[in-house]
């Protein structure tokens, strides 16, 4: 591994076994440029429902997810939208790991948003909400290109690999932006 390498922690906002968004994130992991590694989290579905009473004695899955996020240079979130908003399981995960407020593992962590849905808006509303949510942890969300893919059922081949050329190209540019952001942050930290 070189010092220029970038690790990306992938989070899927759907627990469905045949999730289009999991397929999208798995495709993104395969398409990631050399030097960028995407690891997909398996913890989202194992977190208990957020409860402030549990703070200070969090279940192990929460501690592990915090550690995995902390160890990564960036996040990539692939999520559907439910009722025009962020899926409960995803919001639950971020409520846990957003603490302690102001000093969480999300603080300043760069984020790339991607998503697909069988409908016409391709998760645009959810991504809009997520951008707003990351204001709280001051996590810079890549401004673009937007990877918002409608008609999910037309975007993958029989093996679940992304076949949409526009989305594929956009993913490439998005990875480039994420890598440039991480490199700039490292340079800034080095001269500080
Ligand atoms: C409760 C519920 C609400 C949904 N709301 C939306 C929605 O607001 N917008 C949308 O595009 N699709 C919506 N869908 C359809 C999902 O996009 C679809 O089930 C999708 O396949 C879920 O993502 P996944 O394939 O990654 O699991 C909804 C589905 C459910 C079950």
Nearest to 81 by CA among 46, 42, 113, 50: 113
162-187 average pLDDT score: 97
Question: Residue 1 pLDDT > 80, yes or no?
Answer: no
Question: Residue 165 pLDDT > 90, yes or no?
Answer: yes
C-alpha to C-alpha distance for 117 and 21, rounded to whole angstroms: 8
- In our burial notation (b when 16+ CB lie closer than 10 A, e otherwise), range 112-148 reads bbbbbbeeeebbbbbbbebeebbeebebebbeebbbb
Question: Residue 175 pLDDT > 80, yes or no?
Answer: yes
Nearest to 62 by CA among 50, 79, 77: 50
Nearest to 11 by CA among 19, 3, 121: 19
Q: How many CB atoms lie within 10 A of CB 178?
A: 23
Show the ligand 1 pocket: residues with CB < 6 angstroms: 14, 16, 19-21, 80-84, 117-119, 121
Q: Please give the distance, rounded to the nearest whole angstrom, from the Cα atom of residue 69 to the centre of ligand 1.
A: 26
Question: Residue 4 pLDDT > 90, yes or no?
Answer: no
7-23 average pLDDT score: 98
Which class would CATH give 6-191?
alpha beta
Provide DSSP, 137-186.
Answer: TTPPBP----EEES-GGGSB-TTS-B--HHHHHHHHHHHHHHHHHHHHHH
Per-residue pLDDT reduced to its tens digit, 89-101: 999 999 999 999 9
Pull the structure tokens for residue 183. Answer: 């490199």
Pocket of ligand 1, candidates 12, 19, 28, 117: which has the most ligand atoms within 8 Å of its Cβ, to mutate? 117
Reduce the DSSP state of residue 187 to 3 states and report it. Answer: helix
Q: Nearest C-alpha to atom 4 of ligand 1 is from which residue?
A: 82
């Amino acid at each position: 591994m070189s010092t220029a390498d970038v690790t990306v922690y992938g989070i899927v906002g759907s627990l469905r076994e045949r999730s289009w968004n999991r397929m999208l994130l798995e495709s993104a992991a395969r398409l990631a440029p050399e030097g960028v590694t995407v690891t997909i989290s398996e913890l989202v579905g194992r977190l208990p429902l957020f409860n402030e009473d549990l703070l200070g004695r969090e279940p192990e899955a929460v501690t592990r997810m915090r550690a995995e996020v902390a160890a990564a240079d960036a996040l990539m979130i692939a999520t559907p939208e439910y009722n025009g908003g962020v899926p409960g399981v995803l919001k639950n995960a971020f409520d846990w790991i957003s603490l302690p407020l102001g000093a969480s593992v999300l603080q300043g962590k760069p984020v790339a948003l991607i998503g697909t849905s069988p409908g016409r808006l391709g998760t645009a509303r959810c991504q809009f909400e997520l951008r707003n949510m990351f204001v709280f942890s001051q996590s810079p969300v890549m401004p673009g290109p937007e990877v918002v893919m409608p008609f999910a059922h037309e975007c993958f081949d029989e093996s679940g690999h992304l076949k949409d050329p526009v989305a594929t190209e956009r993913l490439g540019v998005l990875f480039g932006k994420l890598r440039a952001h991480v490199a700039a942050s490292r340079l800034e930290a080095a001269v500080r």
